């Protein structure tokens, strides 16, 4: 319960970049309209659109990009929504280039029809996606219409995304023979959130139909997230799971996976030797379930990206998981946030990571590490992980005692882009040590979060001076501290030419007392968020590399 409360408090003071407001979406449409109708190196190659055509296409592009980014944020929320914003911009850029390629004014003047998703030859397409737009139920008739391109002979579809649409039994029966016909060519299948709102009996039957239809596919990627599977749901996919021997990515997030369901996952996947990505976020696995997942991890020597966050894992399960991670020496990204590991599991993790030189992102917030666990991990990461870019140890009851070890670790991480030590008790002394560690180099630093750390004027001033000249800095968050009014003025003066980089200070308590008032100036916060989101999108251009 304490961890949950800390998480809530942490989120309440964070800058939220997603979703964008209507004004920001309109701004993006206007910018894309200009890009599509203004001469550029791309228009010289592909031709220009008229302003009317450009505006119509820009609206469609924004709708599609927003849907993709919003779906991503629902499936993998990252707190501030920055990854959704990045996807929003990337998808918009990619789709603009596609529109220029297929819909130039020149080709229309010549009497040539601009290609659409319906008349592009099936053999030239590899990705089939029906996830755009609002979540909706699908009946048999609509399924026949939606899946018609998949039924065309000679198509080259290798990647399917049925996410965000709810299949009933009738729709599943329509999909069944089509999926059987594609078995030999499929490599990626996304069935996340594809039975929403269905009664349990119908949902299990739909999952069984899809499982049998896809049995024998040699998939590299399988996403079954957001389906409230439980043990029954996992076993409904038995035929599909048992037939997989080449999986490289497996996503089982927000699936209600209990101890029994985790055991079923362990039983049904025959081989994970090639597995590189395993995401197991927001389940109710607990210690016993974690022991089962640990067996999967231990047999995955190629694992590069492991996420087991918000899964109710305590000390026993945490120790089992961390010991299993010791065999995954190729690990690059580790996310164990929001569990109840405690000191023992934290120390065990520090030992397990002692040979993981490839680590680039480490998310260890809200694990009850305390000083002993935090120091053990800081000392381990200092010696290894030379290319670390993200270090997140928020909400771990870390005090000034851990500050020297943390500072020594941070000082060696010259590629660091994001440092999050919020929701701890570092105070001025700890903040100053961290600031001194960041002074030299660290030119790729983008975000520093030491909010809610009982920092006062001196610590805030030194920290601000340490990061103000970092060329890529986008956020310094020191909200929720005990900074005096004079201290706030000093910090604002230091950032006088880049106040947009300085996070809000509305939760600061100059008197140094706990503030129980959860109310905040939401309107002001929204304005800050909007300014930041707009700045991220204002330089959007057509990008040929997407």
> What are the residue ranges spanned by the domains of the chain?
22-102, 124-271
Q: How confident is the model at residue 260, as a pLDDT?
A: 96
Percent of the chain exceeding pLDDT 70 equals 84
3-class SS at 30?
helix
Q: How confident is the model at residue 30, as a pLDDT?
A: 79
Percent of the chain exceeding pLDDT 90 equals 67
Domains 22-102 and 124-271 agree in fold: no
Tell me the pLDDT tens digit for each residue of 436-467. Answer: 999 999 999 999 999 999 999 999 999 999 99
Given a cut of 50, is residue 112 above it in pLDDT?
no
Dmax (CA) of the chain: 74
Helix axis angle, 82-102 relative to 22-37, nearest 10°? 30
Indicate the pLDDT class of residue 524, thresholds 50, 70 and 90.
very low
Cα–Cα distances in angstroms (integers) from residue 374 to residues 65, 254, 321, 345, in the given order: 40, 28, 18, 11
* Residue 456 half-sphere exposure toward CB, CA atoms < 13 A: 6
Given a cut of 80, is residue 367 above it in pLDDT?
yes
Q: List phi, psi (to 5°) of 115.
A: -60, 145
Q: List phi, psi (to 5°) of 535.
A: -65, -30
- In CATH terms, the superfamily for domain 22-102 is WPP domain (1.10.246.200)
Gyration radius from the chain CA atoms: 25
Quick check: 309 and 337 in contact, CB under 8 A?
yes
Q: How confident is the model at residue 12, as a pLDDT?
A: 42
Residue ranges of the alpha helices (H) in 189-229? 200-214
Quick check: 405 and 374 in contact, CB under 8 A?
yes
Q: Which two tokens stand for residue 327?
A: 């065999």
Task: Extract the runs of DSSP E, i.e. beta strands, from 270-343.
Answer: 277-279, 305-307, 333-335
Segment 379-388 mean pLDDT: 94
3-class SS at 159?
strand
Quick check: 469 and 441 in contact, CB under 8 A?
no
Given a cut of 50, is residue 108 above it in pLDDT?
no
Tell me the pLDDT tens digit for each residue of 126-141. Answer: 999 998 877 889 999 9
How far apart are the C-alpha atoms of 232 and 390, rounded to whole Å? 37
Given a cut of 90, is residue 53 above it in pLDDT?
no
Segment 360-377 mean pLDDT: 98
Task: Extract the runs of DSSP E, i.e. beta strands, from 126-217.
Answer: 127-129, 136-138, 159-161, 165-167, 188-190
Given a cut of 70, is residue 522 above it in pLDDT?
no
Given a cut of 80, is residue 520 above it in pLDDT?
no
Quick check: 328 and 357 in contact, CB under 8 A?
no
This model's pTM is above 0.75:
no
Given a cut of 60, is residue 1 above it in pLDDT?
no
Q: Which two tokens stand for residue 5?
A: 């409360």
- In CATH terms, the superfamily for domain 124-271 is Ribonuclease Inhibitor (3.80.10.10)
Tell me the pLDDT tens digit for each residue of 149-170. Answer: 999 999 999 999 999 999 999 9
Q: Which two tokens stand for residue 284?
A: 């109710």
Count of residues in the chain = 546
How far apart are the C-alpha atoms of 538 and 510, rounded to whole Å? 36
Given a cut of 70, is residue 119 above it in pLDDT?
no
3-class SS at 4?
helix
Q: How confident is the model at residue 540, as a pLDDT?
A: 60
Q: How confident is the model at residue 35, as a pLDDT?
A: 81
């Amino acid at each position: 319960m304490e961890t949950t409360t800390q998480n809530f408090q942490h989120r309440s003071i964070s800058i939220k970049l997603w979703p964008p407001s209507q004004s920001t979406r309109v701004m993006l449409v206007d910018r894309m309209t200009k890009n599509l109708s203004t001469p550029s190196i791309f228009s010289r190659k592909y031709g220009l659109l008229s302003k009317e055509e450009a505006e119509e296409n820009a609206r469609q592009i924004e709708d599609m990009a927003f849907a993709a980014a919003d779906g991503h944020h629902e499936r993998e929320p990252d707190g501030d929504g920055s990854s959704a914003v990045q996807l929003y911009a990337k998808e918009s850029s990619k789709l603009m280039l596609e529109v220029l390629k297929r819909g130039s004014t020149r080709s229309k003047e010549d009497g040539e029809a601009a290609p659409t998703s319906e008349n592009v030859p099936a053999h030239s397409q590899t990705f089939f996606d029906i996830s755009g737009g609002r979540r909706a139920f699908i009946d048999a008739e609509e399924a026949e219409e939606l899946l018609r391109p998949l039924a065309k002979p000679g198509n080259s579809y290798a990647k399917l995304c049925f996410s965000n649409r709810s299949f009933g039994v009738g729709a599943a029966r329509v999909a069944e023979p089509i999926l059987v016909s594609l078995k030999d060519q499929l490599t990626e299948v996304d069935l996340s959130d594809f039975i929403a709102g269905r009664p349990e009996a119908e949902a299990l039957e739909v999952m069984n139909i899809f499982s049998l239809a896809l049995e024998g596919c040699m998939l590299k990627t399988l996403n079954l997230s957001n389906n409230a599977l439980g043990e029954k749901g996992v076993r409904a996919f038995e035929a599909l799971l048992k037939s997989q021997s080449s999986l490289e990515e497996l996503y089982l997030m927000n699936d209600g996976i209990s101890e029994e369901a985790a055991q079923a996952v362990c039983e049904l996947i025959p081989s994970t030797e090639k597995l590189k990505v395993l995401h197991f976020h927001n389940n109710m696995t607990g210690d016993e379930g974690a022991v089962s997942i640990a067996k999967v991890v231990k047999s995955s020597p190629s694992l590069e990206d492991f996420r087991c966050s918000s899964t109710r894992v305590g000390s026993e399960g945490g120790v089992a998981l961390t010991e299993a991670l010791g065999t995954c020496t190729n690990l690059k990204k580790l996310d164990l946030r929001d569990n109840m590991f405690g000191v023992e599991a934290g120390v065990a993790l520090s030992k397990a990571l002692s040979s993981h030189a490839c680590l680039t992102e480490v998310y260890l917030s809200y694990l009850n590490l305390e000083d002993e666990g935090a120091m053990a991990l800081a000392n381990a990461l200092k010696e290894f992980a030379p290319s670390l870019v993200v270090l997140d140890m928020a909400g771990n009851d870390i005090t000034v005692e851990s500050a020297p070890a943390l500072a020594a670790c941070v000082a060696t991480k010259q590629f660091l882009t994001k440092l999050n030590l919020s929701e701890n008790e570092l105070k001025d002394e700890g903040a100053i040590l961290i600031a001194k560690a960041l002074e030299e180099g660290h030119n790729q630093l983008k975000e520093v979060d030491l909010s809610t750390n009982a920092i006062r004027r001196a610590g805030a001033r030194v920290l601000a001076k340490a990061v103000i000249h970092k060329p890529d800095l986008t956020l310094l968050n020191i909200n929720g501290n005990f900074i005096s009014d004079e201290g706030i003025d000093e910090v604002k003066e230091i950032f006088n030419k880049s106040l947009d980089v300085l996070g809000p200070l509305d939760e600061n308590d100059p008197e140094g007392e706990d503030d129980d008032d959860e109310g905040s100036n939401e309107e002001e916060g929204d304005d800050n968020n909007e300014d930041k989101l707009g700045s991220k999108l204002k330089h959007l251009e057509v990008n040929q590399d997407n």
